Amino acid sequence: MKFEAPIPVKEIAALIGATLSGNDQLMATGINEIHKVETGDISFVDFEKYYDTCLHSAATIIIINKQVAVPEGKALLVVNDPFSAYVSLVKRYRPYVPPTSPISDTAVVGEGTIVSPGVFIGHHVRIGKNCIIHPNVTIYDHTVIGDNVIIHAGTVIGSDAFYFKKRADREVMYDKLESCGMVVIEDHVEIGANCTIDKGVSGKTIIGAGTKFDNMIHIGHGAVIGRNCLFAAQVGIGGKAIIEDNVTLWGQVGVNKDLVIGKGAVVLAASAVPGSLEGGKVYFGIPTGEARAKKKELAWIKRIPELWAKINS
């Protein structure tokens, strides 16, 4: 998320009650989780094993829970609980603004676009030309939709990321990492009925041009779906997964977070993808393997009773 105007690092430190070390003249231009950071961004780290990754990332200002050596040109904001400090900044600079009408006055809807009864369009949404938004679609704040997009009934675009920090010492154990990201749907995309596409925690969830979704599909926060992909019903994509162009996922495929499925890959129905897959191949199974090999494995598994009987005869 980018700020409307740069904010002095001293102001940020005061807001979260942090000890400031390093360059105290810096200006923060945005706030981002570690895998999305750009120069000028604020990020946070609260586990020592991730210190080096965060300190040497593109982040300019780092909220951290321990005083360490400050990388050149950066600033550290030292607080006891970086997670809560980060959340407090999100709430201040991207506060929840309750809707007052079904279609926000700040939304922009392009020429030729049809908005059906029962549609909700939030603040600062931009929808392109010649789209069809079917009944009871919900489009959360800051979503961007391209031209010639079709969204079928009951779909939700831009719901919060499923991202929580466990606090084992509390009765209410899970603290929510507030989402300040957005969803971007490119041109000529079709999204089926009752799908859900979560916004990024701080960056973008992207659905590439020409991609087609069947009904009841879930896309997790920060996922990037390539161009001209085809997803059948009940596909689920974990947060921050990258699905490259021309990938086909058949019904009930589950894809883990933080992985890459390569260009042109095909995953057959009722498969589970725990790790990255090379492009240009056909996959199947739980966990997935190349389809031919997996089918041979199944054939041999079916023969186990027969082979066991021969061994014991």
**Residues labelled as active-site residues:** 221
Q: Which residues pair with 126 in a beta bridge?
A: 108, 144
Tokens of 37: 């950071």
Tokens of 249: 């996922």
Q: Where are the beta strands (DSSP E) in 100-173?
A: 108-109, 114-115, 120-121, 126-127, 132-133, 138-139, 144-145, 150-151, 156-159, 164-166
Number of Cβ atoms within 10 Å of the Cβ of 160: 16
Q: Which stretch of DSSP H or E encloses residue 41?
A: strand 41-45
Question: Is the distance from CB of 216 to CB of 197 less than 8 angstroms?
Answer: no
Measure Cα distances from 209 to 10, 213, 214 in Å: 42, 12, 16
CA dihedral for 214, 223, 271, 292, sign (positive or negative): positive
Contacts of 304 (CB under 8 A, 6+ apart): none
**Of 161, 247, 240, 160, nearest in space to 212 by CA:** 247
What CA–CA distance (Å, rounded) separates 236 from 216?
9
